[in-house]
Structure 1
């Protein structure tokens, strides 16, 4: 069966670019592709994490070209693609993972904060796709571009408004380019994660949030995820790597312009939470939860 799936996926020997492929989710993506027999060019702002990922790819016997840079720096990203063009005879897969933000109300954000969020979560993706198309065309067999967005691109995300807007722009840009490049068999799709444990996700929240969780008992810590995620637990990085393998491979040859939500069901739930104390899955807490939270008019 594995031989059949390998032949249908047709990934072995292909070449992939992973922007933000050195640490966290990007490292998981890079390693998943390497294990499938793909050679890689990766770049990341975190030199230490990237060195670890580079060594792991090399240990798997795959060719890897690693570059330390900030994807939001247009000149640095151009230089990276120049190097890819010089080092590899072909390009088949591009994964734009890099991104990030911090929780911040719009009226507290400076113009520099806003410009940073737009460039880091949308602007560089446009540049990466534009540069990648020229290299994908050299292979004359189409290709797959996978852009990471977020669940926040599909809902009102208070405190993350610019980030959510930029990621929504990435999702619609992806759809538009899927139409534009359809006849060339260059497919573009999005992956929209939600809660996945990574350094970037942790950095998005103020320090007091993390400090609050450390004060919780071990019994209490997983309860929020169990209420929020229908699956009951956060998707691991490996689940995102699996989604990339599907969208990068020939198993998804006729999938283009789509967003794949890898979130354990949170997008499907659309605000329905599994409240405790007998309330079950409803958008707002009912009597069981409210009674526990607001005894005598004050939070319990």
Structure 2
């Protein structure tokens, strides 16, 4: 065992992951499992639950995998009831579930807006309500990690209600960090931006989805070099590493914080490396790019 494993002190702990069977959730579950954490996870996809649970058991972990839609309060409550019987207490909660579809606000129905709010904020409230008593049972505090987004920190056209709901999750998490601090329970957030995943691909409607599919990989690489300071988007394992850090004793004095795992996109605030302007980094293109676009 290396020095980081010793100082992280995750081995033997227990975690609940909401949306933990596929994509970013799967990566987080496997990372925690690899660090010696036993896992209770729920997801909507039975096949992904079976696959991820099998991978965790192959690591020697105790696993509860259950099909449940976290946005449905009764299903979420049933999952937590099962988790409470499976573990006598937990040390970590990771709320991964979220998502939307890019669409102008005035084109979204009341049902669409209500779903966006529940999927990206409402269930987080209920999940934490269920989880805090389980965290208290451990007698040593614990860590809650809520996934928010870069869109909670900027005007995100096409994602208005989603962005508002994630901003609510962000501020709710900060308030809960204050309330739960005396119990030794830390509450932090991870804010991704563009991450290669099925969920992010599904958020893009037609005709853009088809146009994106037709773009060769080298075009995407150049686009990310313009937009992301580190030149490429993080992958799911990068986000999982952030979960490991925030769940571990390496972050034992960190609470109420947003960790932007986005290659630096949030820090850039719209600055771009335009391709024909000899390295100029500005929110708007200069003469070289303007000539290529409009000349």
TM-score range, shorter chain: over 0.9
Q: Which residue of 2 aligns with 1:289?
A: 289
- Greater shift, 46-55 or 82-91, is seen at 46-55
Structure 1: gaps of 5 or more residues:
296-300
Kept in 2: contact 1:279–1:288 (CA 8 A): no
Q: Which residue of 1 aligns with 2:90?
A: 91
Q: Does the C-alpha gap of structure 1 residues 288 and 279 become closer, same or farther in structure 2, counting only changes over 3 Å? A: farther
Work out the CA distance in 1 between the residues paired with 2:215 and 2:127: 42
Q: Which residue of 1 aligns with 2:13?
A: 14
Work out the CA distance in 2 between the residues paired with 1:217 and 1:228: 17
Q: Residues 111-154 of structure 1, C-alpha deviation per residue, up to 9 Å, x if partnerless? A: 11011000000000000011100111111100000000000000
What is the deviation of 1:169?
A: 0.3
Kept in 2: contact 1:279–1:286 (CA 8 A): no
1:55 counterpart = 2:61: no
Q: Which residue of 2 aligns with 1:35?
A: 34
**3-state SS of paired residue (1:221):** helix
Work out the CA distance in 1 between the residues paired with 2:238 and 2:248: 15
What is the deviation of 1:240?
A: 0.4
1:259 counterpart = 2:254: no
TM-score w.r.t. the length of structure 2 is: 0.98
Q: Which residue of 2 aligns with 1:125?
A: 124
**3-state SS of paired residue (1:234):** coil
Q: Which residue of 2 aligns with 1:298?
A: none
Count of matched residue pairs:
294
TM-score w.r.t. the length of structure 1 is: 0.96
- Greater shift, 49-58 or 172-181, is seen at 49-58
Q: Which residue of 2 aligns with 1:144?
A: 143
Work out the CA distance in 1 between the residues paired with 2:222 and 2:3: 41
